[in-house]
């Protein structure tokens, strides 16, 4: 059955539509791995300012560099499909456990300040969402936050991306298909230029651009903790011929030493054969494997971390 991409109005959690809204979130988590939030409480003028500063920064500091890299690799004149790179221009900022924004070059004071304010809002929103997931899963409030905590709290960071206008979108992806490694991902995407797609029932479905919305998706760690009740879903970015797409993706992930494993409450409710599908591991071990296998299927990543395979070394995971 084809259904419309789930759009959730968060303010409805405060009124008579709370139950319906929780149900919609549950359905989105179980069947899409993605949903789009409106009325999420993040001020629209803050988003507008961040968008303006991000686009200015791209034009001033990133665009020239991107074009140089593309032409030095001959990617502007390719005739066959390029499978080992993405048509994207990015930089990364870490917010937690400690911010590195003062070390990122070429950002104006205003851009740093606005990015910081936005990230604080998103951090709160991510934690609010984790508690809504707990409620839907029948886990105690705070369970997921605690599961991500490790010894120093969660890792939270932002990938600022622009997917430049591309002459040959059929030959090179903006970003190749993958699932996200971490916990919960919040995306502020361009409201005009589209390109993000998710894989649903074997079909690529567009994530519709919508002004001032926040797109949410679930990463591999939530699949493990929920013992597969929620799944991380494959997605990709198609570069566009009609303009550059901005995307500001923020990743709320476990701390590097957090130990990740299926919640015992969810294991108990499941049948025998669903036990032992997911391993128990330290998050940074997962990230080492992910770094090498990001654009591959996720199942071998889970397999590689099962206790019996841990000492087999890299041969076991390719």
* Contacting residues toward ligand OGA, per CB under 6 A: 159, 161, 175, 180, 187, 189, 196, 235, 237, 247, 249
Q: Which is nearer to ligand OGA, 92 or 275 (CB)?
A: 92
Q: Which partner from the list ligand OGA, Ni ion, none does 161 bind, CB cut-off 5 to 8 Å by kind?
A: ligand OGA
Q: Which is nearer to ligand OGA, 226 or 250 (CB)?
A: 250
Structure tokens at 265: 């409450």
Residue 180 in the binding site for Ni ion (CB under 5 A): yes
Distance CA 90, CA 161 (A): 4
Q: Is 154 exposed, middle or buried (0-12, 13-18, 19+ CB in 10 A)?
A: buried
Q: Which is nearer to ligand OGA, 24 or 176 (CB)?
A: 176
Residue 223 in the binding site for Ni ion (CB under 5 A): no
214, 186 contact by CB (below 8 A): yes
129, 34 contact by CB (below 8 A): no
Q: Which is nearer to Ni ion, 180 or 223 (CB)?
A: 180
User: How far is CA 260 from each of CA 81, 183, 226, rounded to the nearest angstrom?
Assistant: 38, 11, 11
Q: Which partner from the list Ni ion, ligand OGA, none does 159 bind, CB cut-off 5 to 8 Å by kind?
A: ligand OGA
Q: Which partner from the list Ni ion, ligand OGA, none does 305 bind, CB cut-off 5 to 8 Å by kind?
A: none
User: How far is CA 231 from each of CA 1, 28, 217, rounded to the nearest angstrom?
Assistant: 19, 11, 10
Closest separation in Å from C-beta 235 to Ni ion: 6
Q: Contact positions toward Ni ion, by CB under 5 A?
A: 180
């Amino acid at each position: 059955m084809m259904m419309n991409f789930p759009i959730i109005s968060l303010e409805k959690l405060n009124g008579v539509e709370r139950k319906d809204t929780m149900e919609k979130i549950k359905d989105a988590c179980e069947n899409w791995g993605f949903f789009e939030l409106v009325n999420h409480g993040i001020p629209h003028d803050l988003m507008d300012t961040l968008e303006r500063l991000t686009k200015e920064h791209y034009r001033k500091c990133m665009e020239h560099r991107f074009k140089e890299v593309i032409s030095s690799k001959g990617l502007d004149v390719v005739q066959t499909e390029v499978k080992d790179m993405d048509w994207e221009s990015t930089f990364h900022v870490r917010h937690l456990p400690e911010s590195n924004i003062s070390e990122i070059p070429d950002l104006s004071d205003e851009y740093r300040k606005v990015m910081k304010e936005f990230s604080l809002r998103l951090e709160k929103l991510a934690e609010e969402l984790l508690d809504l997931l707990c409620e839907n899963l029948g886990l105690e409030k705070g369970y997921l936050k605690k599961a991500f905590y490790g010894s120093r709290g969660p890792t939270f960071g932002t990938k600022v991306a622009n997917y430049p206008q591309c002459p040959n979108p059929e030959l090179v992806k903006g970003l190749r298909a993958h699932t996200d490694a971490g916990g919960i991902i919040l995306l502020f995407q361009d409201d005009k230029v589209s390109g993000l797609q998710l894989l649903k029932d074997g079909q690529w479905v567009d994530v519709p651009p919508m002004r001032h919305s926040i797109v949410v998706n679930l990463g591999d760690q939530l699949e493990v903790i929920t013992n597969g009740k929620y799944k991380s879903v494959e997605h990709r970015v198609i570069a566009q011929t009609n303009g550059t797409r901005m995307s500001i993706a923020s990743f709320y992930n476990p701390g590097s030493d957090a130990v990740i494993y299926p919640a015992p409450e969810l294991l108990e409710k499941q049948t025998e054969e669903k036990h032992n599908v997911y391993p128990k591991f330290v998050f940074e071990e997962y990230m080492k494997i992910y770094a090498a296998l990001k654009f591959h299927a996720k199942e071998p990543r889970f397999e590689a971390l099962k206790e019996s395979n841990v000492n087999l070394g890299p041969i076991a995971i390719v």
